[in-house]
Structures are given as C-alpha cells and as structure tokens.
Structure 1
C-alpha cells in the first residue's frame, strides 16, 4: 500500500496537468456544445448548436471542402510516400541517411514559416512559380485568387510537408519485411514489379493503414494552411472545418457552436478512420 502511495505521488504532477489541460477542457467543451453561449449567461439548449449544423450553409460548405481535400490529398500523398520509401530503401542508393533527412526535414519547418513561403511562391504577380512558368511561355493563374488554383495550392503545400513524414513510417515497415521473401521470389524468376505487388504492398498494408488514419485525422483538422496561405478564400472557397471553428469560437465568440463543430469533426474522423481500418483489415 505504501509503495502504491509513493508511485501515485510521483504520478500526481502528470495526472494534475493531464486533468487541467486535457480532461477538463474536453468535458467543458462537451458542456458548451449543449449550451446556447450567445447570451450573458449560457443556457442549456442542445438544438441551438447541434440543430444548427444541418442547416448551416457555411458549415456544409466547409465540410464539403474538407472532405474534398481528404479525398484528393491523402491518397496522392500516400502513393508518393510509398514510392519514396521504396526508393529510400533501395540497396543501391548512396548517402541514404542524407536523403532520408532531406525528405523528413519539411516536418521540422515551422508552420507559419512554410505557409509564408508558399504564399510568396504562388503569388499571382511576383511569385517564383509564375515567373518560372512565364520563362517557359506559360501564363500562370492568379493562384490565391481563383477557387480551383487556391485549393490546389493547399493540396501541394500539405503534400510537400507531410509526404516525407509518411515515407519514414512506410520505410520502417519496409525494413521489417524479411529479405528471404525477395530472395525466394528472385530464385523463382519473379520480376521486380510483381514482387512489389505480391510481397511488398500486401505486407505494408498495416503500416499504410496507420499512416492513412493519421493523415485522415490531420486532414479533418486542417487549419494552418487555409488560414495562413489562402485566408480561407477566395470567397470562402478554401474554408475548412478548422477555419470555420476558429471563426465561430474566436471571432464570433460563439463557443458553444464552435464546440459542436469540433465534435462533429471528431466524430467524422472516427467514422472515416474506422472504415479505413476495416477496409485494410479485410484486404490483409
């Protein structure tokens, strides 16, 4: 009993911080989502927030943009990450550690710094991207002021930042595949491309599932890039659940509705992630 008391004494600082900065905010935000917080005194009214979600055109638009981003960006990024991981795992590759660090480095760059760089690169008037296109005789679009191109900039920026991170996760899975399987396939005369489809990819599915779930959760929480690169524009064309939550909570001070938006995004992430895991498990 005394030993348990000593152990809990050492755990108490962590438990106190956990309760104050993680558990209590979660409980409080649930309470806020069930209250009308627009008045001087919050009033219990679940329909004020949860009932508003289905009929709010801005929320539905932000939800559509978020899901479109997820569908377009996550599969493309994972495909690039798998290809990059296979290249980084190639025995013939020299300076392997340098290349691994180089592709992982974008995740170390601060979000504000890299968002500023991308905003400058894709500036329609003096951005480096349009200058390079002009040198090739191509008229570049006004990237940040046209809906489709602004959305494309977000996809490019997030893919650049997170592809290397996911490639390192996949690379760890690649290194766990027994070399004997490839040696046996080579003895049987199986070509390299078929080895990838029949050996590498099936054995990588659990690792790819983890990377996919993490990417899905990150996509549904997307905030920094649309907030700093496109300013949710033009005309709300890059509004996401994260930016709309921020506007409701910290500009309109409607904390109850912001909490409802946050939990709607969390439930959506849970449903999509479970479906993704179930799909990968059935294929495995």
Structure 2
C-alpha cells in the first residue's frame, strides 16, 4: 500500500467520523467542561441576569456540599439504590431473558413484547397505576397483604417503606431493556455446550454456572455497568412518585442536584454536584472493570 493511499484512507475515515466526533465535542465534552468551570463559581440567578455578578469562589461549593446533611442523605439513598437495585434489576432481567429463551415457553414473541412494554411506557402513566397499587387504603398490594393478616403499609408516605416501593417500581420499569440485551447474548450461546453438559449429567444450576454465565460474562458486565450508572442517575421515579419525600427518604443525588440548580438557582452548586456524581460513577465503574478483569470477564 502506497503512502498516498494510506493518506487517502485516513482522510476518508476522518471525513466519515468527523460529524459524529463534532457532535460529541459540541454536545457532550464542551458542556461537561463548562459545567466543571461553573462548579468553581457562584453562578446563580443574579449572574443569569448580569454576568458581571459572576465570581470565582474556588472550592467553596464543594465544601458547602460536604457540610450539607441533605447532600449526604441523597448520596446514601443513591448508594442504597446502587447496592440493592443493581443486583435486583440484573437478576430480574437475567431470569426474564432465560424464561423467554426457554424452549418450553409458548408464544415467546408475545412474552417478549409484554415484558419489554413497561420500559417503553410513559413514566407518568405508569406512576399513576403504581400509586394506585400502593395506595394505603385502596391499593391492590395492601389488599393482598390483608388477606394474609398483614396490616396496611403506607408505601409512599413512610420513610422506611418509600425507598423499597420506589425500588420495586424502578425494577419493574427498567428490567425489560436489560432483558433484551441478555436475550441477545443467550441466543449466541452454542446449544452444543448445553447439550454436552446435560449428557454428562449436569443439572440446570450447574449448567447455568459453568456454561451459560461464562458464555455471557461480557454481556453481564455491560448490563451491570449500565444499571449502576442508571441507579446513580435516578431522578424521574422519585420526582413523580414521592417528590423526594417523605422527610427526604427518597431524595437521590440527581434529585438533589435538580433542586440546587433549578429550584434554588444555585447553578454553581448544582454543577459541583454533577461533577461529584461523575466521580462516583467513574470510581464504581473502575472497580467493576477491575473485578471483571480478575474474574476473566474481560
């Protein structure tokens, strides 16, 4: 290959990828850099009216956040969603994918559509249904609990019950997307491996552990990374269901950032929250990648 041909191929490559790279730079990297710069300023509603009111404050926004109990409450809630919600959603998605992929299940296309439907359904519409299901007096959940002599639970009004209720709603709303990813991975696992293990006398759990899971390990890592990032960025579900209450029990870090930036108009402080959230997601992602590399998933 001549040097001129290599130059032409490189130029063609840049011409084809240039628009996408420009969009990434314009809509992702530049706003991220601007947000980082704003986190070191006191950018607020007065600075919006007159840029002359903008002042550089250094690390004061970060110091004020670290001294704010509500910030730590939001961070704790987000970590609870990550620690509890990630395994719950991943396992639920994997179970649903294996169910839909099983040979004995009839009408599999219909099941795929039915299980994926919650993910594409409007959040506001589904939240209305779930608020009715979880209603203290008239909800279906408490009615079923009363049939086994369990007292009604104030699912959305109790600080102890509201977070599990939101977690159930989030799991039901989001597992369909991960299910489709798992289903695509399961369909690439050679059936000969499973049949050979079955002939050797391996049970269902043994085949799952030694055949299926190793074969879909990269997909399992991908779904885990996406779910962790999604759990850290929960906002719409607590906002629609409980408005962060009661007593801040469902305030997530993204909900806290929203209130700082767009309720109190402390945009500099909101930008600082966004950067801290980015660092948290990055740290957890690096830990997951390290564990996966040692486990052979990468």
Fold conserved (TM > 0.5)? yes
Give the CA deviation at 1:274.
1.6
Q: Who is 2:222 aligned against?
A: 210
| Correspondence list, 1:1-284, <5 A | 20-38=26-44, 40=47, 41-284=53-296
Aligned equivalents of 2:94, 2:17: Cα separation in 1: 43
Aligned equivalents of 1:279, 1:117: Cα separation in 2: 39
TM-score, normalised relative to structure 1: 0.91
Deviation digits for residues 112-139 of structure 1 (CA, Å, limit 9, x no counterpart)? 2222222222122322322333344432
Q: Who is 2:4 aligned against?
A: none
Q: Is the 8 A contact 1:115 1:228 kept in 2?
A: yes
Aligned equivalents of 2:213, 2:27: Cα separation in 1: 41
Aligned equivalents of 2:155, 2:138: Cα separation in 1: 11
Structure 2: stretches of 5+ with no match in the other structure: 1-6, 48-52
Aligned equivalents of 1:226, 1:140: Cα separation in 2: 22
SS in structure 2 at match of 1:36: coil
Aligned equivalents of 2:184, 2:22: Cα separation in 1: 35
RMSD: 2.3
Bigger CA drift: 152-161 or 73-82? 73-82
Using a 3 Å threshold, how does the CA distance of structure 1 residues 135 and 250 change in structure 2: closer, same or farther?
same
Using a 3 Å threshold, how does the CA distance of structure 1 residues 256 and 209 change in structure 2: closer, same or farther?
same
* Regions of 4+ moved over 4 Å: 1-5, 7-12, 14-20
TM-score, normalised relative to structure 2: 0.87
SS in structure 1 at match of 2:244: coil
Deviation digits for residues 69-128 of structure 1 (CA, Å, limit 9, x no counterpart)? 111111012112222211111112111111111111111111222222222221223223
Aligned equivalents of 2:30, 2:205: Cα separation in 1: 52
Paired residue total: 282
Deviation digits for residues 162-192 of structure 1 (CA, Å, limit 9, x no counterpart)? 1222121111111111112112212322222
